[in-house]
């Protein structure tokens, strides 16, 4: 048990040092949601005509509605970027050294996933701090409740990236896969507009958004920021986490996955 904890701490420390050494990574993670918050939100609010936002039934600005979705954007992009580093580590050989350590493979991958999720949550809270300075503030209980919600969502999105990295063998190919996954997941979700608005435009697209795991991650964060728990969303996020995590373990199995081809 102690050895497993030491392995977890070592991986957390390594990922933390890597993050501190890549200062532009935090800036890049914050630029995207801040652009949406400061520039696009005003146009979207007017175009969608949003005034009353379910389930809260209070008059709020559109910026308040999309803040949880932008937190989800940070978690999604960082989950994929963390997985991109896995592909790089595998090409350089350091990933193979990690997976040949005495600790179980599933624990090493889980530790990697936890480390990436912690960094994602820190970046999301940095964005919430900037939003608070901008005037978009939540109740303090919402910030506390959002911590476990964002961590679970980050684990799910990180597991998705981990699964993709286990089946993509070249760094250049994974960058293309990232764009193919990130943008459909983000735009076909409730991050920018509620599902009831999507249903008015297209019931089919509304069903696609409802089946998107990222939608449930965003709704979990959105309810948590208002001090509420969305148990159905939590259930779907946990199911997606289990599926993506199992697929990632299968992919990194040297007897089946891409690690077999990499020696």
From the CB of residue 47, how many other CB atoms can be counted at a distance below 10 Å?
Answer: 10
pLDDT in tens, 209-247: 999 999 999 999 999 998 898 999 999 999 999 999 999
Return left, alpha or beta for 211; rule: phi > 0 is left, psi -120 to 50 is alpha, else beta.
Answer: alpha
Separation of first and last alpha carbons in the chain: 29
Selected residue with higher pLDDT from 31 and 69? 69
Beta-carbon contacts of residue 219 (< 8 Å; ≥ 6 apart):
68, 190, 230, 233
pLDDT in tens, 137-181: 888 999 999 999 999 999 999 999 888 887 776 666 666 777 788
pLDDT score recorded for residue 1: 63
Beta-carbon contacts of residue 76 (< 8 Å; ≥ 6 apart):
157, 182, 185, 186, 214
pTM given for the model:
0.81
Highest averaged pLDDT of the listed ranges 95-104, 122-131, 215-224:
215-224
Kindly report the average pLDDT of the chain as a whole number.
78
Beta-carbon contacts of residue 205 (< 8 Å; ≥ 6 apart):
188, 198
């Amino acid at each position: 048990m102690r050895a497993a904890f030491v392995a977890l701490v070592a991986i957390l420390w390594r990922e933390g040092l890597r993050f501190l050494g890549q200062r532009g990574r935090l800036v890049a993670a914050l630029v995207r949601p801040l652009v949406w918050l400061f520039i696009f939100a005003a146009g979207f609010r007017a175009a969608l005509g949003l005034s009353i936002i379910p389930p809260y039934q209070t008059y709020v600005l559109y910026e308040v509605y999309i803040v949880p979705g932008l937190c989800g954007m940070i978690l999604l992009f960082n989950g994929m970027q963390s997985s991109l580093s896995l592909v790089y580590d595998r090409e350089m050989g350091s990933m193979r050294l990690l997976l040949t350590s005495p600790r179980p493979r599933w624990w090493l991958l889980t530790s990697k996933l936890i480390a990436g999720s912690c960094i994602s949550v820190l970046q999301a809270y940095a964005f919430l701090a900037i939003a608070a300075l901008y005037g978009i503030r939540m109740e303090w209980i919402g910030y506390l409740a959002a911590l476990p919600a964002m961590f679970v969502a980050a684990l799910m999105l990180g597991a998705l990236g981990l699964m993709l990295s286990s089946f993509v063998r070249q760094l250049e190919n994974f960058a293309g896969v990232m764009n193919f996954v990130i943008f459909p997941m983000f735009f076909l979700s409730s991050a920018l507009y509620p599902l009831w608005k999507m249903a008015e435009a297209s019931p089919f697209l509304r069903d696609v958004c409802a089946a998107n795991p990222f939608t449930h991650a965003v709704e979990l964060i959105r309810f948590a920021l208002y001090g509420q728990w969305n148990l159905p969303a939590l259930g779907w996020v946990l199911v997606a986490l289990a599926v993506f995590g199992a697929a990632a373990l299968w992919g990194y199995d040297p007897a089946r996955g891409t690690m077999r081809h990499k020696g």
